Structure 1
Amino acid sequence: MGFERTYNGLFVGLTTLDTIYLASNVPTNNQKIVASDFTIAAGGPATNAAATFSYLGNQATLLAALGTHAIAEVIKSDLAKCQVAIADLAPNNSQVPPVSSIIVTQSTGERAVVSLNAVKTQVDSSDIPADILTNTDIVLIDGHQMAVGQAIARLAKSKNIPVVIDGGSWKSGFEHILPFVNYAICSNNFYPPNCNSVTEVFAFLDRFGINNIAITRGGDSIQYLENSEIKYTDVPQIKVVDTLGAGDIFHGAFCYYIMRKSFANALIASAKVAANSCKFFGTRMWMNQGQL
């Protein structure tokens, strides 16, 4: 990365332990299958984005609920390897953190996921550390800790810190975060209330004064809004091994590149990173073997 400035990012939201299997197919009812490969890693949109942001050369802090359970220690160990700092919203919680079971289909790279997400680990905004935004240059919010996300977004806006949302899907409460958002990076599964088309999604987000909006569509081109016009940028075409976490990785890369490039060029660079990650099994192997 040369002598580029290092930026500090705060990533707010979900942390899980991902158990990831590579298999020939997803099992049917009452079927047992044997996986051809297996890995575990800390997961969740904000978590994978933080790991990516750190890998690219910045300083990442994850604001999430972890606690003291033995599984939380496994998550912390993986994040330590990724050089991601942790601000724990539930440091005294002894309950098991969310665990995701994931099967990646070997022939297509598509994934099937069963997860509890943050349903049982919601915390109040009063649990936010008082100095959490000190020296922070950019914030990403994935919407899984909505009360915390709302408070952080409002505070970041007051400090002129850019806020990015990971719009993987619409979550109730996002409407209270959107007024403070600078960059809305959404998937094509993100449909706010009464929105049934991409045009309506862009119009919905634009009404909140968000000037930079993009919708990723897997291996298809990215749609984005620039000067009130919907434009497209292609993504790299690759042989896909595993799509797990690609959107999260895109968001982490976007937080890195938007501090250095224009909106359109940050999207292009982020798509390259996300596509590269899909060449490898799991959400970490690309960091060990991939070339950007």
Structure 2
Amino acid sequence: MEITSIHRPKIVVIGSCNTDMVVKANRLPVPGETILGGTFYMNPGGKGANQAIAASRLGAEVTFISKIGYDLFGLQALEIYKSEKINTEFIFTDQKSPSGVALISVDSFGENSIIVAPGASRSLSLEDIDKAKGKIKEADIVLMQLEVPLETVEYAASIANEYGKKVILNPAPASTLNDSFLRNIHTILPNRIEAEMLSGIKVRDTESAHRAAEAIGEKGIENVVITLGKDGAYVKEKDEFTMIPAKEVETIDTTGAGDVFCGAFSVHLSEGHCLAEAVRFANAAAALAVTRIGAQSAIPYKKEVIV
């Protein structure tokens, strides 16, 4: 059922801004090995930024809370966010740290390995969140990841929860999280590795995904969505469990596909759809993204997504 609204949903994204430096080669090197013949390209990235752009392109009014360095990468990123119609009022500048960078290797199958040097993203502070409280209070959803300091994410979640806002957490990169923080989360969106870290259960199939979702739910989160790449997503919505298959496409590059999923999920949920419908929409958006090169350049627009 399509739900229409005069007002665009308001989403606040709190997270990282990086520049992705990508090398594409036939295969990923093993430690100590040099591979010749790769192709280099540079793209703006960062989980927070990717998710903010995804939410904006897919129909939300987005405010991005982040931190950049006073350098070319940071200033360039700021211009990109403005061109994507994102509110940049709360993107702060760190005079001492450089903007974050990510070094990404992609093989011919579209698999990737990534090293992130967070730079200014690591100095996003509690005081910065305080400055943006008004926007959090106005939001329908607050979407966060773990590329900024954990104490900042925890603080933002507690404020959003006090205001009665839905907090969506993409627990990436994988980290140990305390239960008091998790109780402030409306929906958590881990991948296989993150779900294993949170639950202690290796996610191999539907049965193990079910057990992992149950274990994560026992920490105080009603809603768990374990993303399983080309296999789809396993959904725990309160006491209901559903396996939702992915759309079959030819994968070219998986970089940023998880971020597209998170942004798309948040938009569809904020429009009043149920969790399963939001996951189907997110699957469709992510499926489009993996057929294209890059992270932000691959993010689809709402009119392109067919569920």
When normalised by structure 1's length, the TM-score is 0.89
Residue number in structure 2 paired with 1:21? 23
Q: Kindly state the Cα deviation for residue 235 of structure 1 after the two structures are TM-superposed.
A: 0.5
- Cα distance in 1 for residues equivalent to 2:288 and 2:279: 14
Residue 304 of structure 2 is aligned to residue 291 of structure 1 = yes
Query: Is there any run of 5+ residues in structure 2 with no aligned partner, and where?
Result: 203-208
CA gap 1:113/1:202 in 2 versus in 1, 3 angstroms = same
Deviation at 1:87, TM superposition (A): 4.7
- Aligned residues between the structures: 290
> Whole-Å Cα distance in 1 between the matches of residues 281 and 39 of structure 2?
32
In structure 1, give the amino acid aligned to 2:60. Answer: N
TM-aligned CA deviation for residue 155 of structure 1: 1.1
**Aligned position for 2:205:** none
CA gap of 1:288–1:151, structure 2 versus 1, over 3 A, is closer
- 2:100–2:118 contact (8 Å) kept in structure 1: yes
Task: Return the letter of the residue paired with 1:291.
Answer: E
SS state at 1:180 partner: coil
Q: Which residue of 2 aligns with 1:163?
A: 167
The runs of at least 4 aligned residues of structure 1 exceeding 6 Å deviation read: none
Paired residue for 2:236, among 225, 231, 238? Answer: 225
- Report the alpha carbon displacement of residue 30 of structure 1 after superposing the two structures with TM: 4.9
Q: State the 1:26 CA deviation.
A: 2.6
**Cα offsets for 1:246-286 (capped at 9, x unmatched):** 00110000011012311101101100000100000002333
Q: Aligned to 2:143, what secondary structure does the other structure show? A: strand
Residue ranges of structure 1 left out of the alignment (5+ in a row): none
- Taking the aligned partners of 2:67 and 2:76, their CA distance within structure 1 comes to 14
Kept after mapping to 1: 8 A contact 2:122/2:147: no
Contact 2:28 2:105 in 1 (8 A): yes
In structure 2, give the amino acid aligned to 1:254: F
Higher mean C-alpha displacement, 44-53 vs 248-257:
44-53
Counterpart CA distance in 1 for 2:241 and 2:134 is 39
Pick which of 269-278 and 93-102 moved more: 93-102
Pair 1:137-2:140 in alignment: yes
* Cα pair distance change 1:117/1:19, threshold 3 Å: same
Provide the rounded CA distance (Å) in 1 between the counterparts of 2:212 and 2:72.
Answer: 41
Q: What is the match of residue 109 of structure 1? A: 110
Amino acid at match of 1:66: I
Is contact 1:169-1:189 (8 Å) kept?
no
**Native 8 Å contact 1:97 1:121 kept in 2:** no
Relative distance call for 1:93 and 1:206 in structure 2 (3 A) is same
- Give the TM-score normalised by structure 2: 0.85
Q: Residue by residue, what CA displacement relative to the aligned partner does 1:195-248 show, whole Å, maximum 9, x if unpaired? A: 124445323332243222110111013111135343201110110010000001
Aligned to 1:59: 61
**Aligned AA for 1:186?**
P
Q: Verify the 8 A CA contact 2:142 2:166 in the aligned structure 1.
A: yes
SS at match of 1:79: helix
Match of 1:196 in 2: 201
Instruction: Say whether the 8 Å CA contact 2:68–2:121 is kept in structure 1.
Output: no
**Aligned mates of 2:26, 2:220 — CA distance in 1:** 46
Query: 1:169, 1:187 within 8 Å by CA — same for their partners in 2?
Result: no
Correspondence 1:34 to 2:45: no
Instruction: Indicate whether 1:70 and 2:72 are aligned.
Output: yes
Say whether the 8 Å CA contact 1:11–1:140 is kept in structure 2. Answer: yes
Q: Compared with structure 1, are the counterparts of its residues 138 and 27 closer, same or farther at alpha carbon in structure 2 (3 Å cutoff)?
A: same
Describe the superposition over 1:11-54 as per-residue Cα deviations: whole angstroms up to 9, x where unpaired.
1122211112332233453525233462312x222211110000
8 Å contact from structure 1 (residues 48, 245) kept in 2: yes
Superposed CA offset, 1:160-215 (max 9, x none): 11110002343244544211111111111113466124445323332243222110
Question: Is 2:285 the counterpart of 1:280?
Answer: no
1:47 aligned counterpart, secondary structure:
helix
- Aligned residue for 1:91, secondary structure, equals strand
Structure (1/2) with the larger helix percentage: 2
Relative to 1, partners in 2 of residues 1:268 and 1:288: Cα closer, same or farther, differing over 3 Å? closer
Percent identity reads 18
